[in-house]
Amino acid sequence: MRIAFVSSAVPRRCGIATFTGDLRAAMKAADPTVHYYAAAIDEPSAARTYGPDVRWRIRQGDASSYADAAEAISKSRVDIVNVQHEFGLYGLWHDGTYDDHLRVFLEHCTKPVVVTLHTVPPRPEPWTLEAVRGAAERCDAIVVMAATAARLLRDVYGIAKRPAVIEHGMPAIEPSGRGRLKRQLAMEGRKILCTFGLVDPRKGLEYVVQAMPEIVARHADALYLVVGQTHPELLRRDGETYRASLVELAGRVGVSDRVKFVNEYLTQHKIVDYLLATDVYITPYLDPNQITSGTLAYALGAGKAIVSTPYLHAQEALAGDRGVLVPFRDARAIASAVSGILDEPMRKRALEERAYAYGKTMTWPVIGGRVLALMRHVLQTREPAKAPVLLRIA
């Protein structure tokens, strides 16, 4: 089988690029005989150096570039195409309307196509409905990462055929070595609270900083790590304004020595090290409609006690007492939840065990095998006239 991925691609610092790289590695590990190629989506001004697997380049925002890539892939020996979709990568907004470049790609591609939707807004604008419905009509299978997203496609978007639900993958992590890793990171004897990922205002990190005085009053050894670089788009637009505001806030509320910024773009190995050293993982995100979070998936896979705002992915993933949900924009609730976990070691341990039991069913080796199974199914069942096949792959 020869698979072409259409996505942003590493070294672009983008969550979709990282996800696609991890997924491709997992699929290759599941079946080393499969061949992988890529069409990399670049910003108009980008001039990146990619590996030999990148055979085509797409200029983000240029509809003709998506059409050209689709036609080139259609003429190649590729058997099937895997599209990783985020609205910003596949279109432009103009005065409340959306110029849908995924539609352009699908109209010009004659190969079977599987589309993974990374965003499924629960209250879609008319242009969102049109774009998602168009993808469902024109591709052979749709993948979403949560049962909630599948229900939205049925009940809100009016898509009758069922998507495959294949969760966000995570590394296969053995949840051990917390003390050793704290020593390695020069944080021995501290209670580590952590949020990792690209830093931007949508993460709501200021509410954890505001919670720190109350947490420190009950746990004097608490330290909050903000691990990750500023989002590249934000950095280009506003520089380090948001990070600077967090530093200023920490000083203003008297916790400058209890909030540490690790301003690095981390390898997966380093991310896992920070996670394994962590006592409580926090996702204080502000968007209630967020349907997937890679950082939350990683924290579950590492068996962490988790405190999160109730965005859609968190509601689903942390059900069954696998974590603690707190209201949006509520520093006092975050402080109470974190302190409550640190106060009760047995409860903390139970949260960790439930998180790990859930997370280990979604490790990258498992997810890679499920995506391969779906793509083989599409190839085996596809009619020459290209009828969509949208199934749940268990």
Between the CA of residue 383 and those of 23, 335, 390, what are the distances in Å? 27, 56, 14
First-to-final CA distance of the chain: 21
| pLDDT profile of the chain (394 residues), mean per 10 | 96 91 95 96 89 95 97 97 96 90 98 96 93 96 94 95 91 88 93 94 97 98 95 86 96 97 86 94 95 91 96 94 98 98 97 95 93 96 55 44
Residue with tokens 């609205």: 87
Model-wide pTM > 0.85: no
Predicted pLDDT of residue 235: 86
Predicted pLDDT of residue 389: 44
Residue 209 in contact with residue 243, Cβ under 8 Å? no
Q: Cα(64)–Cα(66) distance, rounded to whole angstroms?
A: 5
Peptide bond into 310 cis (omega under 30): no
Predicted pLDDT of residue 390: 43
Q: Cα(342)–Cα(50) distance, rounded to whole angstroms?
A: 45
Tell which residue, 351, 332, 348, 352, has the closest CA to residue 340.
Answer: 348
* Strand runs labelled E in 107-214: 113-117, 141-144, 164-165, 191-196
Q: Cα(18)–Cα(11) distance, rounded to whole angstroms?
A: 9
Tell which residue, 319, 385, 23, 341, has the closest CA to residue 169.
Answer: 23
Contacts of 267 (CB under 8 A, 6+ apart): none
Report CA 93 to chain centroid distance, whole Å.
23
Between the CA of residue 232 and those of 10, 54, 217, 298, 377, what are the distances in Å? 13, 22, 35, 22, 37
- Phi–psi pair at 221, nearest 5 degrees: -95, 10
Residue with tokens 């809100």: 156
Residue 308 in contact with residue 297, Cβ under 8 Å? no
Predicted pLDDT of residue 383: 59
Predicted pLDDT of residue 393: 47
Angle 376-293-222 from CA coordinates, rounded to 5°: 140
Tell which residue, 286, 258, 279, has the closest CA to residue 337.
Answer: 279
Q: Cα(135)–Cα(107) distance, rounded to whole angstroms?
A: 10
Predicted pLDDT of residue 384: 57
